[in-house]
């Protein structure tokens, strides 16, 4: 049984960060994810007509992540938190990327609700997943660059499994090996906020609504920073 756990160095050092976890089995990424597309398109339309403004560095969700990044030694203006990068892209270009239904769903939720969001293909994960500080020898193959191998900087916050780093700088960039493709059938979605548990509630509801019609089973879990017991990822291998 694959589990997801948080190292005490993370819960002690970053107690303001809360994480919600959606575990999904029987995911169908090839169907019509019309609701996810509509959510992305709505964001683009509202940004264009000025009725809604993407969060920037002055907004609490982004400023909070910048503070967290600086605390573990990463310059957030050079290596941006995922939600920051997406909001900046929308503000600059008026468009958000289209990848596949599941990824489009969590990107839409990330931008609308100001939370960092990502996902792993559980069938590509090896062993348990840990959120911890990077160590000497931790390697990472960036998304879209399967022939590139980086070494994570010791002390930065990373998700790892038994093989390698899955996400660098907490939520800056995912690994190519565990990326969520349309072929993935078992997945774990992660929603993260430095503004406390309440900031995640609406985001969890929104992502659940977008995903549940495309999955056989979905369960929602939350890490309590005061009692961070490992979460069982039932679809894991």
| pLDDT tens-digit readout, 190-220 | 999 999 888 899 999 999 999 999 999 999 9
Q: Alpha-carbon distance 233 to 237, whole Å?
A: 9
SS3 state at 114: coil
Our count of domains for the chain comes to: 1
pLDDT at position 168 is: 98
Residue 44's φ and ψ, nearest 5 degrees, are -65, -40
Question: Hey, what are 192's tokens?
Answer: 């993260």
Residue with tokens 């548990």: 197
Percent of the chain with pLDDT over 70: 96
| pLDDT tens-digit readout, 34-93 | 999 999 999 999 999 999 999 999 999 999 999 999 999 999 999 999 999 999 999 999
pLDDT at position 145 is: 94
- 235 pLDDT higher than 70: no
Residue with tokens 């990326």: 179
The answer to whether 42 and 131 are in contact (CB under 8 A) is: no
Average pLDDT, integer, range 185-189: 97
Which of 230, 191, 183 lies closest to 210, judged by CA? 191
Average pLDDT, integer, range 97-105: 98
- How many angstroms from the chain centroid is the CA of residue 221? 15
| pLDDT tens-digit readout, 116-165 | 999 999 999 999 999 999 999 999 999 999 999 999 999 999 999 999 99
The answer to whether 199 and 112 are in contact (CB under 8 A) is: no
CATH number at residue 68: 3.50.40.10
pLDDT at position 227 is: 65
Task: Write out the residue range of the structural domain in which residue 16 sits.
Answer: 2-233
Average pLDDT over the chain, rounded to an integer: 95
Percent of the chain with pLDDT over 90: 90
């Amino acid at each position: 049984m694959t589990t997801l756990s948080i190292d005490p160095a993370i819960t002690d050092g970053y107690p303001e960060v809360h994480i919600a976890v959606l575990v999904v089995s029987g995911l169908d990424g090839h169907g019509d994810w019309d609701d996810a597309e509509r959510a992305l398109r709505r964001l683009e339309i509202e940004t264009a007509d000025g009725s809604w403004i993407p969060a920037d560095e002055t907004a609490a969700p982004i400023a909070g992540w910048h503070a967290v990044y600086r605390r573990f030694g990463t310059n957030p203006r050079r290596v941006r938190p995922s939600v920051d990068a997406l909001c900046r892209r929308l503000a600059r270009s008026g468009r958000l990327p289209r990848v596949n239904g599941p990824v489009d769903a969590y990107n839409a939720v990330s931008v609308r609700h100001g939370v960092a969001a990502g996902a792993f293909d559980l069938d590509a994960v090896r062993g348990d997943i840990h959120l911890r500080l990077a160590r000497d020898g931790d390697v990472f193959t960036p998304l879209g660059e399967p022939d590139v191998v980086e070494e994570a900087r010791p002390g930065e916050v990373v998700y790892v499994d038994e093989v390698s780093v899955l996400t660098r700088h907490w939520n800056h960039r995912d690994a190519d090996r565990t990326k969520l493709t349309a072929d993935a059938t078992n997945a774990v979605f992660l929603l993260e906020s430095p503004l406390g548990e309440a900031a995640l509630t609406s985001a969890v509801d929104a992502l659940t609504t977008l995903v549940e019609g495309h999955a056989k089973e979905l369960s929602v879990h939350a890490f309590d920073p005061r009692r961070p017991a490992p979460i069982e990822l039932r679809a894991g291998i």
